[in-house]
Amino acid sequence: MEPIYLLTIPYIALWFWCIKETYISNPEWLDYFLAHKPFALLIPYIIGQPLFRKFVQATNVYERNKDACKKIMAAYNIAMSVFSFY
């Protein structure tokens, strides 16, 4: 199993646990989930990581566009830092 999947598994387990706990204590769990947009952003993040990794490996896009990729990664790191303070 690749390391990226080992990091993704705890997030999936946490997400399912949160849904289970919210559903049991609050039958309106979908309204709660949709009202807190950062939680909803976890779904495409978890799914997108391994898919994007495969895409980058197959197309070699990083090697051809290193400067742009580094700027994107810097913006991503800043966004995740801000998100962690939320």
2-26 pLDDT tens trace: 555 555 666 777 777 776 665 665 5
CA distance to 16, 25, 83, per residue, from 21 (Å): 9, 6, 23
Q: List, in order, residues 6 or more apart from 40 with CB less than 8 Å away.
A: 33, 34
pLDDT of 74 above 90: yes
Residue 75 pLDDT > 80: yes
- Between residues 6 and 65, the one the model is more confident about: 65
Structural domains in the chain (count): 1
Domain of residue 72 covers: 3-85
pLDDT at 55 over 60: yes
Is the pLDDT at 37 greater than 80? The verdict is no
> pTM for this structure?
0.44
Query: Is it the case that residue 79 has pLDDT exceeding 80?
Result: yes
